[in-house]
Amino acid sequence: MASDKTWNILHVLPTIDPKAGGPVEGVRQRGIRLKQWGHQVDVVTLDDPDLPFVADFPLNAHALGPSRGGYRYNAKLVPWLKLNSGMYDAVIVNGLWQYNGLGVWRALQNSKVPYYVFTHGALDPWFKHEYPLKHLKKWIYWPWAEYRVLRDAKAVLFTSDEERLTARESFWLYRVSEKVVAYGTGAPPEDAGRLRARFISMHPELRGRRILLFLSRIHEKKGCDLLVRAFAEVASQEPSLHLVIAGPGHEALVEQLKRLGHELGVGDRISWPGMLKGEDKWGAFYSAEAFILPSHQENFGIAIAEALACGVPVLITNKVNIWREITADGSGFVEPDTLSGTTQLLKRWLSLESEARQQMSRCARQSYQSRFNIDAMATSLLDVLAERQLTN
């Protein structure tokens, strides 16, 4: 463990809805481990306290909502922080472009309580190039809000060197104290056989199939359209190949992707189980022979770490910020975020002999143990807090 000190840590998030993806899961997983080590981890969220996932959250959650609009403005946040922040050794902002960051800055800019910011990929230049009008609006907002939030933070936390370096490219007005911390997830359940059998029994169309798994938010940045098209190109090479696309998403986009699959003649070979949690999620991982995420932008990808933990090799693009680590560990394949690149990922996987697939599975588990396990994730954060405290 990083030190003998017992830390009281407060995370501030716009939402703790599991559908929000990796940042929420990261706070949950790390918080559980730190509590097991004797630390105190609380959460302030701008959610309505009556929402069911607030009561189900495993950390002590202070819900100040309801909040206004997509920006999640909440007049209660600043007074709450001024009243209660003195009970904590550190306050951690999760994410940018919503009120939780500006609220923390307004409350703590002249306080003795240090705050830190996890950007969670929100400064990736992909957004600037893909959404230039939105980026222009962000520039209007940037100098008087997010720039100050990051400038005055004790440290701005990145989950890879790739994220740290590319974050510098989005705004020329940029001054932060950078720190890279380990990121990852907890170990999966060990009863793989039972979970696999349970998942297949719930989805009988998968019995006897070679399953490729996509498990993430169904969003345009995730390259789901590339995945459906690439799968259609290679499906004839292996009649038993079946694609599972699991995750929450806008209904219109999901229906569009389903239509695309049917138009390309592979609709009956793609399953759409929706968002998977708990044993359903782990059953899906243990049933898959490979995990695929052809994302155009991905800060880390908790699901990648979960796949590795289950010994499932990962097929990703070079727009996933941990692609260098995956390549170095031999725990998957990496290609560009194009149709040809996604198709090549599938072809490379299908070309492997059984023994080579098993070796890559072993590398996947080793990659998780050495880089992406929850203990490394929790210890890394404590190291940063302890280091920055010494510089006060």
Segment 136-194, tens digit of pLDDT:
999 999 999 999 999 999 999 998 888 999 999 999 999 999 999 988 888 999 999 99
What is 192-372's CATH number?
Answer: 3.40.50.2000
User: pLDDT band at residue 390, thresholds of 50, 70 and 90?
Assistant: low
Candidates 227, 233, 241; CA nearest to 342 is 227
Q: Find the Cα–Cα–Cα–Cα dihedral 170, 171, 174, 180, rounded to 10°.
A: -10
Report the CATH number of the 8-185+374-390 domain.
Answer: 3.40.50.2000
**Better-scored residue on pLDDT, 40 or 129:** 40
274 pLDDT higher than 50: yes
**What is the spatial distance between Cα 19 and Cα 347, in angstroms, rounded to a whole number?**
31
Mean pLDDT over residues 108-133, rounded? 92
Cα(5)–Cα(387) distance, integer angstroms:
12
Distance between CA atoms of residues 372 and 172, nearest Å: 32
- Under DSSP, the state recorded for 3 is -
pLDDT interval class at 301 (50, 70, 90)? confident
How many Å apart are CA 380 and CA 239, to the nearest integer? Answer: 45
Percent of the chain with pLDDT over 70: 98
> What φ, ψ does residue 246 adopt, rounded to 5°?
-115, 135
Mean pLDDT (whole number) for 305-334 = 96
Render 235-281 in DSSP notation, one character per residue: GGG-TTEEEEEES-B-HHHHHHHHHHHHHTT-GGGEE------HHHH
DSSP code of 124? -
Mean pLDDT, rounded, for 57-76: 96
CA distance 330 to 317: 14
pLDDT of residue 4: 78
Among 19-28, 39-48, 332-341, the minimum mean pLDDT is found in: 19-28
CA angle, 301 as apex, 245 and 17 as ends, to 5°?
A: 80
Q: Is the pLDDT of residue 1 over 60?
A: no
DSSP-assigned letters across all residues of 57-112: -SSEEEE----BTTTTB-TTHHHHHHHHGGG-SEEEEE-SSSHHHHHHHHHHTTSS
**Start-end ranges of CATH 3.40.50.2000 in the chain?**
8-185+374-390, 192-372
User: If you average pLDDT over residues 86-101, what whole number do you get?
Assistant: 96
Position 388 pLDDT exceeds 70: no
